Amino acid sequence: MSSTEKSPDFVREIIAAEIASGQWDGRVVTRFPPEPNGYLHIGHAKAICLDFGVAAEFGGRCHLRFDDTNPTKEQVEYVESIKEDIRWLGFDWGEHLYYASDYFEQLYQWAVELIQKGLAYVDDLSADEIREYRGTLTEPGRESPYRNRSVEENLDLFARMRAGEFPDGSRVLRAKIDMASPNLNLRDPVMYRIRHATHHRTGDAWCIYPMYDWAHGQSDSIEGITHSLCTMEYEDHRPLYDWFLDALGIHHPRQIEFARLNLSHTVMSKRKLLQLVNEGIVTGWDDPRMPTLSGLRRRGYTPASIREFCDRIGVGKTQNLIAVELLEHCVREDLNKRAPRVMAVLHPLHVIIENYPEDQVEELDAVNNPEDASMGTRKVPFTRELWIEQDDWREHPPTKYFRLSPGAEVRLRYGYIIKCVGVVKNERGEIVQVRCTYDPATRGGATDRKVKGTIHWVSARYALPAEVRLYDHLFLTPKPDEDENWQAQVNPNSLERLTNCYVEPALANAAPLAHFQFERTGYFNVDPDSAAGRLVFNRTVSLRDTWSKIEKKEARSGG
């Protein structure tokens, strides 16, 4: 094994061993089974990369199957977004798009079969009574008084449940397993409940709907799935998964559980994400601060960076909390290679170059991406009046500050070396203008003069106004979930809108979602809110900032 090669995770090890021993006829079929009750998030990306990745590596296939067994929570809007997000992430289910609802009739027939075998019964207990009869974690449950109805009566009642003769909640179909099992999932689990609700695909054809446990394994079986990969909380369900398949004597996939992804400074449960949306804490499922795939996409994350992230976090069984910094690292790494560089001033400060001719304009050559010469160069207009970053000028520079200050010199990126010769302040004593002179012999950096700092700039005459949205972690603490009052952890400053920014003219026609590096600042993309004449950018992630660390350290040591 070469040192760069990653060792396979335990899931791939298991599958490889089975295939090597001749199981499954060498076929590997997996599935990604989302419920269309919300948008996909980065945690789903881990599962998608595993499900589709494993299938591809073993020459098999991966199905996309919507687990749509609960009409009251599901919507077509969600199925469309899920399909879009999976495609965007870079995976393809080909012909293999399925819905659990396609199997409702087969599931019904199999339920009838279990009734006939004496393995299922109709229960008239109410939901509350069923809970009461179920017992507790430490005490066994009790058998329902309806548990020993005749096969005929069960068949009749079940048929009438389907026919709509009974109101919601009046009866359920249960598997007859073991009310004393230490595994609660085996205490006669509910298979069907009555719900007179319109389903987004089957309409009003059904008023009884299968529960997850009853639908999932059998759907896997119908599709010939070999490996049903799911998260750890389903481990306790595996005995039930196996029980149904064995009772029916049908194709029996292997369920393997892995640990779900937890990411720092965010929440991942669909319930909580929905709450953030509904309560207006974010602007929608695709708010750039959300850990949803649509949010990450709008934020400027690339599919490759998310796939790389999923690859790096690995697949195991231990509960984890991945630092969001790793995700940020992955997107920087990817964007460093592909994002064109451009200059943009976020907090503008006016600079006048006193000895530069008023009417002169020079077109300076700028490199589009130093990491990739094939991306070429562009022209950037240089004029007497410029905008520079407020932070690139200090009246009283701290030590190790390499930028502009009274009497100091800096290089303007791709331009000239300038020297600060004065400032203009307003009545309140605020600096409104920095006066400089330039050295005409240093155009394009053509000099061996040593200047420590290089700063970015835009021409005041040619720059385009823009809005820039800066984002920070949605939550203040790494693990907001662990607090009952998780919403109190929301970061009130997770969004900062800068409406007075200037970008270089090359950005005039930037396409929505296009990625850029604003030199020395960070990676940004064009927000869909952007329009001609009203450019809007999102900061995907800042550049690594060594200076801010130095500054903090100096401040700490009293320097």
81: which residues sit within 8 A by CB, 6+ positions away?
A: 39, 40, 285, 294
- What is the SS3 assignment for 394? coil
- Cβ closest to RNA, residue 89 vs residue 417: 417
Task: Between 145 and 528, name the residue whose CB sits nearer to RNA.
Answer: 145
Decide if 113 is catalytic: no
**d(C-alpha 474, C-alpha 377), whole Å:** 37
DSSP state, 393? Answer: B
CA distance 160 to 544: 66
Q: What angle do CA 427, 429, 435 make, to 5 degrees?
A: 100
Annotated active-site residue 270? The verdict is yes
User: Which of 270, 289, 378, 384 is flagged as catalytic?
Assistant: 270
Give residue 504's region: left, alpha or beta (phi > 0; psi -120 to 50).
beta
- At 548, is the secondary structure helix, strand, or coil? helix
Six token digits for residue 163: 């026919």
Which residue type does 97 have?
A: L
**Three-class SS of residue 446?**
coil
Query: Which letter, b or e, does each residue of 57-87 get, where b requires 16 or more Cβ atoms within 10 Å of its Cβ?
Result: ebebbbbbbbbbbbbeebeeebbebbbebbe
How far apart are the C-alpha atoms of 205 and 104, rounded to whole Å? 10
Q: How far apart are CA 551 and CA 537, in angstroms?
A: 27
Which is nearest to 471 in space by CA: 340, 306, 283?
283
In the block, residue with structure tokens 């700063």: 455
Is residue 553 among the annotated active site residues?
Answer: no
Q: HSE of 330 in the Cβ direction (CA atoms, 13 Å)?
A: 21
**Nearer of residues 447 and 487 to RNA, judged by Cβ:** 447
Give the pairing of strands 457-459 and 385-389: antiparallel
Element (H, E) at 48: helix 42-57
Least Cβ distance, residue 303 to RNA (angstroms): 19
SS3 category, 364: strand
Indicate the residue among 395 and 545 with the shorter CB distance to RNA.
Answer: 545
Nearest distance in Å: CB 428, RNA: 26
Q: Which pair of structure tokens corresponds to residue 143?
A: 């058998």
Q: Read out DSSP for 464-506?
A: EEEEEEEE--SBSSS-GGGSTTGGGGB-TTSEEEEEEEEE-GG
Tokens of 462: 């040619």
Question: What is the closest distance, in whole angstroms, from the C-beta atom of residue 320 to RNA in the complex?
Answer: 4
Q: Give min distance, CB of 284 to RNA, in A.
A: 22
- CB count within 10 Å of CB 533 equals 8
Question: What is d(CA 146, CA 130) in angstroms, rounded to the nearest whole number?
Answer: 11
DSSP 400: T
108 or 209: CB nearest RNA? 209
Q: Which is nearer to RNA, 209 or 301 (CB)?
A: 209
CA atoms within 13 A on the CB side of 484: 0
* Nearest residue (CB) to RNA, 287 versus 383: 383
CA-CA distance, 153 to 155, in Å (whole number)?
A: 5
Quick one: 156 or 233, whose CB is closer to RNA? 233
Q: Is-contact 54 227, C-beta < 8 A?
A: yes
Q: How far is the CB of 384 from RNA (least distance, A)?
A: 18
User: What's the first-to-final CA gap in the chain, in angstroms?
Assistant: 50
> Residues near 555 by Cβ (< 8 Å), separated by ≥ 6?
none
What are the phi and psi torsion angles at 543 (to 5°)? -75, 155
197/513 with CB nearer RNA: 197
Q: Annotated active-site positions, please?
A: 35, 260, 270
